[in-house]
Amino acid sequence: MATAADALQASERAEKKAATSVTLTLKIRRYNPEISDEHRWDEFTIQADPLDRLLDALHEVKWRHDGTLALRRSCGHGICGSDAMLINGRNALACKVLVKDVAPKVTVEPIRGLPVLKDLIVDMDPFLDGYKSILPYLVNDSGEPDRERFQSPEDRARYDDTTKCILCAACTTSCPIFWGDEGYIGPAAIVNAHRFIFDSRDEGGRERLKILSEKSGVFRCRTTFNCTDACPRGIEVTKAIQEVKREILFERF
């Protein structure tokens, strides 16, 4: 049973939160194909803790202002990659953006280059089709080993950076080539191909390089560095793409 002291402490916490909160206006691009084929903009003004994440602010809008707002989210901690959005014109994960960094007003849109299903939710199938096309798994036809396939720290370090990809699509949907050419395989697919091409235990590198040497592959990249800038995991995406290009041209293919 709550005591008077508990109630007083709760009141003090509420007062402290109110004193430190900031006003945040969210301008959100909305789309509902069941209502209209046209996009529209809605604005919501809320009070939020400066150290809350933008995802928390979107929850506030959905839970207390407009329950029809549609968005994807899962872990809320920058691991699953499901809440990639266009935030003030730049791709980012809503769960990694602090309210204090976007207050007093923030513009939120769905990521570009993929069909919008509703509000901030896009159809990820074209993105995932590109990912699946590069054989994103270990290929080794040498038979079952008697023990695990050992790898030196140096061999592991060769592709360590590209193991960090969480398939959020932030890099691919920041790419102007991807916006204009739906056939382009995209940066994320190349990053995941890189992860296996340079894995010393893998035997499918030549096949992946053949896929990536096609018209829709790595040579569509124009090295704008948008992908590297957009990656929430800090992957050097452009560097990985250039390494795959070099591998095709000079070393293995």
Token readout for 206 is: 């030549």
Give the domain range for residue 90: 4-122
Question: Which pLDDT score, from 0 to 100, does residue 105 have?
Answer: 98
Question: How does residue 14 score in pLDDT terms, banded at 50, 70 and 90?
Answer: low
110 and 169 inside one domain = no
Which of residues 122, 137, 154 is at a domain's end?
Answer: 122
pLDDT, tens only, 58-85: 999 999 999 999 999 999 999 999 999 9
Of 105, 122, 139, which residue is a domain's last? 122
Q: Do 236 and 139 sit in the same domain of this protein?
A: yes
Helices (H), the chain: 4-20, 54-64, 125-133, 153-157, 176-180, 187-197, 205-212, 226-230, 237-246
**Would you say the pTM of this structure is higher than 0.75?**
yes
Does 60 share its domain with 163?
Answer: no
